[in-house]
């Protein structure tokens, strides 16, 4: 597991590249107010945190698999990841953050559009529109 990338995955870099080309500026691997948690992409001024979840590690309902070897351990590991994700979402939302979660299998264009809309809403809200 140590050799598994925790950041800068192909899905993350594709999404970041697309957002950057569209003119967005953001923070990468941003330390959040919740202890020991980091957003893959963050717009701190707007309080938007984006997480690009891997299908295996976060138990994607479409593509997630359950290993047969050491099955009990892996099930607990993936379920713990899901619980941590839910806890992170709740803590950030309590602090006024907008949390966006996308799966690694989501098309970068679709994810970018979702993020664009959230940023536009947040900027409109800040401007009092």
pLDDT at 128: 58
Using one digit for the tens of pLDDT, what is the confidence trace for 31-72?
998 778 999 999 999 999 999 999 999 999 998 888 899 999
> What's the token pair of residue 74?
């892996």
Q: Residue range 73-97: average pLDDT? A: 95
The helix/strand/coil state of 115 is helix
Residue 4 has pLDDT above 70, yes or no: no
CB count in 10 Å sphere of residue 19:
21
Rounded to the nearest 5°, which phi and psi values hold at 22? Answer: -85, 5
Superfamily of domain 10-106: VSR Endonuclease (3.40.960.10)
Q: Which long-range contacts (CB under 8 A, 24 or more apart) does 21-24 make?
A: 22/112, 22/116, 24/115, 24/116, 24/119
Going from N- to C-terminal start, the domains of the chain cover 10-106
Residue 129 has pLDDT above 90, yes or no: no
Nearest to 119 by CA among 102, 111, 107, 13: 111
pLDDT at 35: 73
Bridge partners of residue 51, in order along the sequence: 101
Q: Residue range 103-120: average pLDDT? A: 97
């Amino acid at each position: 597991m140590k050799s598994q990338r925790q950041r800068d995955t192909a899905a993350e870099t594709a999404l970041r590249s697309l957002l950057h080309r569209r003119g967005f500026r953001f923070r990468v691997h941003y330390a959040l107010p919740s202890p020991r948690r980091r957003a893959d992409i963050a717009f701190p001024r707007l309080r938007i945190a984006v997480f690009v979840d891997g299908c295996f590690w976060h138990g994607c309902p479409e593509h997630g698999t359950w290993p047969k070897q050491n099955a009990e351990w892996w099930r607990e590991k993936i379920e713990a990841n899901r619980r941590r994700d839910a806890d992170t979402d709740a803590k950030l939302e309590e602090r006024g953050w907008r949390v966006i979660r996308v799966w690694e299998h989501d098309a970068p264009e679709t994810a970018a559009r979702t993020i664009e809309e959230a940023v536009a809403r947040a900027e409109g809200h800040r401007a009092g529109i």
